[in-house]
A and B are shown apart, each in its own frame.
Chain A
Amino acid sequence: MTHQLEIKNLHASVGDQPILKGINLTIPRGELHAVMGPNGNGKSTLAKVIVGDPEYTVTEGEVLVDGQNILEMEPDERARLGVFLAFQYPVEIPGVTIANFLRLAMQARKEEGEEVTFTEFYGKLQSALKTLEWDESIVERYLNEGMSGGEKKRNEILQMLMLEPNYIIMDETDSGLDVDALRIVSHGVNSLRGPNLGGLIITHYQRLLDYIVPDKVHIIVDGRVVESGGPELAKRLDAEGYDWVKELATA
């Protein structure tokens, strides 16, 4: 079995409006790939199609996790296979504490009849909070409710650390973060990095990629990958902007 996330000729639409027009990407475990590109070109759509947002209809293509096509699966089944999306705009769930939610999410990954023990939960929580330089009292707060943009992003990474996914997708996690928060969040992601973790880092900024150095960089324009390369590609975008890649798309 190949341990990788494969996206093959993926086409997806909202209603009858096509947004993804044949995406091809292969991300083996052990690698993190950056995904860049101008706003409104399908990056978030790609992320949401991978996790199974019913808002989008896949019209063609496949998404394989470790060789298994996941497109017919419910979002929670995909999560249990180890796919995790740090959302660009995490939603608020009033009245549900972060602690309670984390515990339920951990429990959801267990086999029938297996319980998340308090020690397991609490031990993991302590270490995740330490990595994220966060006080324990945060887990008493309601999930994303009334949190600042930066806190919401950090909370996404907290969940990521607790759930230990195999494939992460980070959708502009760096936007809205100040320099300290950016460093902390990147540290969190790097702490998970290793031969078992693969994923996509969607971002506009080199400053994130200075911390989380990508193995590859892909540029998406108009629902297609128009250019791929190494970390230097991100540096070029940072220096020159997106104008030249937009031309690639129309060429």
Chain B
Amino acid sequence: MKPGIFICCCGDNISGKIDLEKLKRSVSEDVKFIDETPYLCSNEGMEHIIAKIKSEKPEGIVIAACSPKMHEKRFRRCAERADLNQYMMDVANIREQCAWVNKDSNPTVRAIDIVNSSINAVRNSIGLKKVQLPITKSALMVGGGISGITAALSLAKHGIRVYLVEKSASIGGNMVKIGKVFSADTLSEECAMCSLGPLISEVGENPNIEVITNAEVSGLSGHMGKYSVKIQTDPEMINGEKCTSCGICSEICNIDVLDEFNFNLTFRNAAYKPFPGALPSSYSIDSNACIKCGKCVEACPADAINLESVPKNIELNVGAIVLATGYSELNPEQIEEFGYKKIEGVITQMELARILAVNGPTSGKLISPLTGKKPKSIVMIQCVGSRDRKPGSIPQCSTICCMTALKHSNYIINHSKGTDIYICYTDMRTLGTYENYYFETQKKGEKSLRFIRGKVAQVKKVNNEKLLARVEDTLGGGVTDIEADMIVLSSALLPSDTISSVQEATGVGLTEEKFVKEKNSKMDPTQTTIPGIFVSGTAKGAMDITESINMSRSAASRVSEMLTQEFIEIEPKFPVLNQGECNQCLKCLEQCPSNAIYLDECVEVDPVACTGCGYCVAQCERQALSLPLYSDQVIQARIDGVLKMGNPSILTFLDEKIAYTAADSMGSNRLNYPKDVRIIKIPSILRLEVKHLLYGFNKGAKGIFLGDGTANASDKIMEEKLTKKVQELIDGVSAEGIDPSRIYYYQANLPHYKGLANKLKEFSSLLEKID
């Protein structure tokens, strides 16, 4: 088969550096036609390609132009439109990786090798098809706080069925506890429950939403578009259908449990309803606290209680998942200098929120736990556990605590005359219009509110009657001890505990602080490391209510985009298994770094989860697995092509995501690197086998450079596999009598192009020393 060649001049970016006539001459015998166009990527260029394919009917084409990272997808579409299989096309990167390389005295030599490599690859390619997968049109929402509620409602309105799974006895999350929310528009504090209540009822009324409380995700299988999720619920001792919410069980129960709704400042009973307006509205029994005395069973007029019920396992089929597991406030106990839990009167902002709430432990009266009276002076300590690189703290800004401190100050100024407040801050972070609220609070606090710029160093108690916060007033007041009878710690926002079990069940990637990681937080927010699983709200990081709502809507829109399609289309970049050869040894299954291989009746590859790294191919002793896009034939053909002209080359295998991008950047930044470097793009070094390297050496390569950036994944698995793979390659090659120093491995954690150029130079000079 002879492919047709399209050469792009790219203005004179390419033609100004490379002698195109010479290039054409030297490849002419292997091709059906050679075409030269000023700009292939222009609309005219594209139409030209289509027309030319239609008239000449080549079985494959090579496009010698800029990096495939630029226009490969568009060129593929051209091929399809001209009725040529889109995988019978290869891009020869003669711009970034040839014409743009600085101080290359003869780029034409390199260009010829690159084009030859592509010609060979196309000649050995087979036409492939994208796969289409069916979709389950329902979604799972993990977490029933403001974020989960918003996303669920939004999806339900798009006609998608939603399961809303919540760990506690009611949906509502942290927002029901905080009492007041600030409004930057009306410059006032509003009742949180008044805004949230209607949404909670709407969830209850929407027929498309099924709320499952006291429940956690315990397992996950399947893939994007078709997940099967295991949910485990606590024993449902009170039958929600029968319960009339009369509350008699709670009255009769005398087991005291710390009330999480009041941040453990008060007690509730084992039979309880978390708060008025909870959803579901039925009562629950806390199975961890209940002693099964049976009093409530007798008392219940609706006969709704069964103490012997057991945990339930539910299986749900969904097409997509949104993680909205929310946050919990950092427990500042471990930051011992603030004396939390050791010194009476030191509380957190969340606890203050409960104290200020009308339905809180003091019915909204501001009372200091130290004196039992209205505090004379409150010190608020900002950035507790945030913006701090000490163990137990997190380095990020928690973004909401400056506003929380202002909100509480504002409220106290209005409702508690005679209480002074000192806010000790590092920076006041009140972005955008929030600055107005800051300004307003300052004005209102003219008498009682003062700001001190300094991070408090320590809190002490003096003679059991007052507290002392030591801070440097960095704006000139010097070291200052502030007397107070209440100290409020603006404690950091951490991901809620639930995330650990969710992570275990789903394998979703987390940051060091255990927030859910976004795969590309800049260009693709809400997308987690797993296709089909999204994140919204504070599960992703600190944010306020408005931002949570925004993000939830955005996640919901991503989900509905996906679930309203007919099917999901996947590139054929995954391995194909020849079932006739497979003896179910399961080596591939055990070794796949993405857990993409599973055993049903026979061994199957999940095309969605597969990253196409190719590691499994070499694991299979019966050669049952192959990776069509990067088959042995294609890899060898590329090597053949590159070495065809007999130049003493350094075969440079780079992973397509990171290292290959770095190589492009070397060109676009006009760096210089050794003229012998010949780059071959592969999915990952994991795809390579000893035989490929030996093949290269036998064909005359003087050295082989391996560059891979996929090791920089959230877990250590890729790094381990890569290290093992490289060692295997080196050992295998040296067993055949080849000097192992002719192989060089570079772990390219980032697309750091200067680093790559330096490594290439280093390797080249090492090779010179050997020769």
A and B interact? no
Binding site for A on B (CB under 8 A): none
